């Protein structure tokens, strides 16, 4: 059975002290609630070890290197991420694709290294506004999925969490309608079924990301192919993040 997941993406926000305090207060606020989803916080690298050792929430890095180790100044390897106690790594976020030139070929390497080090990738795919307007959004999302992920064995693929994040909805306040999101999630699941079969596709968690918040999470998460969210802005405040988690 696939899991329901709500994952926060802090991006480049919060000092170490703020991040640790936030994780502890989020955990305290969730204590005693009956959760219908796993909760993950995606922190900057420097927070990973501290957060992973002080709370029981899932912890994700927001990136890892496409190289295993060596003379790559400033890079952080998948093995290093795993050594912090983090279990997940967000890969292919549109901000990394756009600002840091991450291609599907680079992301393929990152995915392989993440999996080889026991991390579950939260793999982001999604079209730009222009691509949606040109009606090529299904092709774009399919190509991103095929090029970076479809070389994996079924066993490895089953450790991947997909996040459909239409680029035009990230941080813009424009959310895909639940009908638009459901349509794309169903398409992604069908694409996965075509490669790995119905069982693997049924067991794949596909999250929605793009201006999701406490006001729209419930409607989005009620869709049959939407298994949770990757949440940016609304994951930065406990009072805003809890209503998203309670969208389930
Ligand atoms: C994200 O960063 O993955 C994201 C979805 O951001 P926001 O929720 O702010 O649109």
Helix, strand, coil share of the chain (percent; to 5): 45, 15, 40
Sign of CA dihedral 220, 225, 228, 230: negative
CA of 183 to the centre of ligand 1 (A): 20
- pLDDT for the residue numbered 161: 98
Kindly report, residue by residue over 158-188, the tens digit of the pLDDT.
999 999 999 999 999 888 999 999 999 999 9
Give the residue-averaged pLDDT of 229-235: 98
CA of 214 to the centre of ligand 1 (A): 13
For ligand 1, pick from 230, 237, 241, 243 the residue to mutate: most ligand atoms within 8 Å of CB: 230
**Domains, in order of start, for the chain:** 5-245 (3.20.20.70)
Kindly report, residue by residue over 78-101, the tens digit of the pLDDT.
999 999 999 999 999 999 999 999
CB 55 within 8 A of CB 29: no
- pLDDT for the residue numbered 1: 86
Kindly report, residue by residue over 130-151, the tens digit of the pLDDT.
999 999 999 999 999 999 999 9
């Amino acid at each position: 059975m696939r899991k329901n997941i709500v994952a926060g993406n802090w991006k480049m926000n919060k000092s170490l002290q703020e991040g640790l305090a936030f994780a502890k207060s989020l955990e305290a606020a969730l204590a005693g609630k009956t959760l219908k989803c796993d909760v993950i916080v995606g922190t900057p690298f420097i927070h990973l070890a501290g957060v992973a050792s002080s709370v029981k929430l899932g912890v994700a890095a927001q990136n890892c290197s496409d190289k295993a180790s060596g003379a790559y100044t400033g890079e952080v390897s998948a093995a290093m991420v795993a050594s912090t106690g983090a279990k997940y790594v967000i890969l292919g976020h549109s901000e990394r694709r756009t600002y840091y030139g991450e291609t599907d070929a680079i992301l393929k390497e990152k995915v392989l290294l993440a999996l080889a080090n026991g991390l579950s990738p939260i793999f982001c795919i999604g079209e730009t506004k222009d691509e949606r307007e040109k009606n090529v959004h299904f092709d774009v999302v399919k190509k991103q999925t095929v090029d970076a992920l479809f070389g994996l064995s079924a066993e490895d693929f089953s450790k991947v969490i997909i996040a459909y994040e239409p680029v035009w909805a990230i941080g813009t306040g424009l959310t895909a309608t639940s009908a638009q999101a459901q349509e794309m999630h169903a398409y992604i699941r069908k694409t996965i079924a075509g490669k790995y079969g119905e069982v693997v596709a049924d067991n794949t968690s596909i999250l929605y990301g793009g201006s999701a918040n406490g006001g729209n999470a419930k409607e989005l998460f009620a869709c049959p192919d939407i298994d949770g969210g990757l949440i940016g802005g609304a994951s930065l405040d406990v009072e805003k993040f809890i209503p998203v988690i309670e969208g389930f």
